[in-house]
């Protein structure tokens, strides 16, 4: 779908009705009017338009308490499609989904440790082009591309300002991809995209405030208030990995000392294992630390328990600062959930200020490795279903 066409599809009332159908289907026109306070003629007119556009379909008749049985409405999930990209820091992954997030196509590429802006963009374009060339879906039905990007992102311009692990700056992702593919492109920080994906697809219900924390190669968080992503004044809200835990600690990739990331990222866990546990097999990876703990090695179990305590300290700071209803944890490190999670919860119990704060719901993402990719898809779905949602 060409840029501009997507914009013409959107209006506030249309999206209110579309979102009501999405969250309550099957639903009748009369029930939509009742629950949205829109007039029945307005609802009927907009539903007709949505059906003509292929976004909404009718099903068999619903139940009636008297009089004619109502026709029920559903989202036509195969009406349109979205491309989602999880960009870095180690791989570029790309998916094509329908409006429910069902993945229809997938590609991926490894990123070199030393890479230029141009090489990075070339890999993004290759993966997106591979998706476009390898499926039989009409490309006019693709509403856009969502990119979840490692590091600091200017969401207004779609520019990657700083990608510290890749050592890249000022990548004009949105401009380059829109020129290349003539599709609407949305770019977001990967942890914030993950948070949006969790709120959209994670089955958390109508929580009013949620933080998703991604702990893997780095540590980042996304904050959602009432369905809205929060960015902060300079778009660095959620950089949980760069809160200082130890002022005399290791130097972080950001240049500061003792950041949470230097203690609990996958690489940091492996480095602590090398320093604390004498082994003859050479340097370990975070995955190998988990496997050794899984085999029953008490030294590595203890190390992961320590990691959980430190993550718990970071999350307690988060609870004291934001006081969210729910915290969702994801990323590669959380694959060690059985060793890490009890220590996280114990740490929060010991440090949180109030009884209520200690009861903050902390869970591990059910979306797993797909959370960030589905978050990238959500960047476009939010635009389609609820354009009145603005980011702070």
Determine how β-strand 168-171 pairs with β-strand 209-215: unpaired
pLDDT at residue 392 in the model: 46
- Rounded to whole angstroms, the Cα distance separating 283 from 272 reads 11
**Per-domain residue ranges of the chain:** 5-75, 81-196+372-385, 207-364
pLDDT at residue 242 in the model: 92
Query: Residue 204: which residues within 8 A CB-CB, separation 6 or more?
Result: 198, 210, 326, 328
pLDDT at residue 362 in the model: 95
Mean pLDDT calculated for residue range 254-278: 89
Mean pLDDT calculated for residue range 172-191: 94
Same fold, 81-196+372-385 and 207-364: yes
For the 5-75 domain, the top CATH level (class) is mainly alpha
Q: Are 339 and 301 in contact (CB under 8 A)?
A: yes
Please report which confidence band the pLDDT of residue 67 belongs to, taking 50, 70 and 90 as the band edges: low
How do residues 182-212 score in pLDDT, each as one tens digit? 999 999 998 899 998 888 888 776 677 899 9
Determine how β-strand 326-330 pairs with β-strand 209-215: parallel
Residue 222 in this model has a pLDDT that exceeds 60: yes
Count the alpha carbons within 13 Å of 339 in the hemisphere toward its beta carbon. Answer: 23
The CATH number assigned to the domain with range 81-196+372-385 reads 3.30.420.40
pLDDT at residue 3 in the model: 66
Helix (H) or strand (E) holding 317: helix 298-322
Q: Are 178 and 147 in contact (CB under 8 A)?
A: no
Percent of the chain, pLDDT > 90? 55
Tell me how far CA of residue 113 lies from CA of 19, 110, 125, 166, in angstroms.
Answer: 42, 9, 19, 7
pLDDT at residue 79 in the model: 86
How do residues 15-28 score in pLDDT, each as one tens digit? 888 888 888 888 99
Q: Give the CA angle between residues 378, 34, 206 to the nearest 5°.
A: 35
Look at the block and give the residue holding tokens 């501009």: 4
Mean pLDDT calculated for residue range 5-11: 60
Residue 150 in this model has a pLDDT that exceeds 50: yes
Q: What is the mean pLDDT of the chain?
A: 87
* Token pair in block for residue 238: 């959620």
pLDDT at residue 390 in the model: 43
Q: Are 3 and 184 in contact (CB under 8 A)?
A: yes
Q: Are 101 and 374 in contact (CB under 8 A)?
A: yes
How do residues 308-347 score in pLDDT, each as one tens digit? 999 999 999 999 999 999 999 999 999 999 999 999 999 9
Query: Residue 80: which residues within 8 A CB-CB, separation 6 or more?
Result: 1, 54, 55, 98, 99, 141, 142, 143, 384
**4-18, 198-212, 242-256, 345-359: least confident range:** 4-18
Which one of 1.10.15.40, 3.30.420.40, 3.10.20.30, 3.30.365.10 gives the CATH number of domain 207-364?
3.30.420.40
- Rounded to whole angstroms, the Cα distance separating 350 from 346 reads 6
Please report which confidence band the pLDDT of residue 6 belongs to, taking 50, 70 and 90 as the band edges: low
DSSP class of 313 = H
- Report the residue count for the chain: 392
């Amino acid at each position: 779908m060409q840029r501009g066409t997507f914009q013409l599809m959107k209006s506030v009332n249309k999206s209110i009705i579309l979102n009501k159908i999405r969250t309550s289907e099957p639903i009748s026109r009369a029930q939509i009017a009742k629950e949205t306070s829109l007039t029945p003629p307005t609802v009927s007119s907009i539903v007709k338009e949505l059906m003509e556009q292929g976004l909404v379909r009718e099903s068999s008749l619903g139940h009636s308490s008297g009089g004619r049985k109502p026709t029920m409405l559903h989202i036509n999930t195969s009406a349109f499609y979205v491309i989602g990209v999880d960009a870095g820091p180690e791989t570029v992954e790309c998916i094509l989904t329908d409006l429910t997030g069902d993945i229809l196509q997938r590609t991926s590429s490894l990123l070199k440790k030393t890479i230029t802006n141009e090489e990075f963009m070339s890999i993004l374009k290759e993966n997106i082009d591979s998706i476009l060339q390898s499926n039989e879906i009409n490309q006019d039905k693709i509403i856009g591309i969502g990119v979840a990007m490692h590091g600091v992102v200017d969401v207004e311009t779609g520019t990657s300002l700083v990608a510290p692990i890749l050592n890249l700056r000022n990548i004009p992702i949105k401009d380059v991809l829109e020129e290349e593919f003539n599709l609407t492109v949305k770019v977001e920080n990967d942890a914030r995209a993950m948070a949006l994906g969790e709120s959209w697809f994670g089955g958390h219900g109508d929580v009013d405030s949620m933080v998703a924390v991604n702990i893997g190669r780095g540590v980042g968080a996304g904050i959602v208030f009432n369905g809205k992503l929060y960015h902060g004044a300079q778009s660095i809200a959620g950089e949980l990995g760069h809160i200082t835990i130890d002022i005399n600690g290791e130097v972080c990739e950001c240049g500061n000392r003792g950041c949470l990331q230097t203690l609990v990222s996958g690489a940091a866990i492996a480095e602590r294992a090398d320093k604390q546990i004498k082994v003859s097999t050479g340097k370990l990876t975070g995955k190998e630390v988990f496997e050794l703990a899984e085999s029953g090695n008490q030294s590595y179990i203890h190390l992961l328990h320590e990691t959980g305590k430190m993550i718990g300290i970071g999350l307690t700071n988060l609870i004291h600062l934001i006081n969210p209803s729910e915290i969702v944890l994801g990323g590669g490190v959380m694959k060690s959930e059985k060793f890490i999670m009890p220590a996280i919860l114990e740490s929060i119990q010991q440090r949180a200020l109030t009884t209520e704060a200690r009861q903050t719901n902390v869970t591990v993402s059910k979306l797993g490795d797909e959370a960030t990719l589905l978050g990238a898809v959500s960047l476009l779905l939010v635009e389609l279903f609820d354009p009145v949602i603005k980011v702070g």
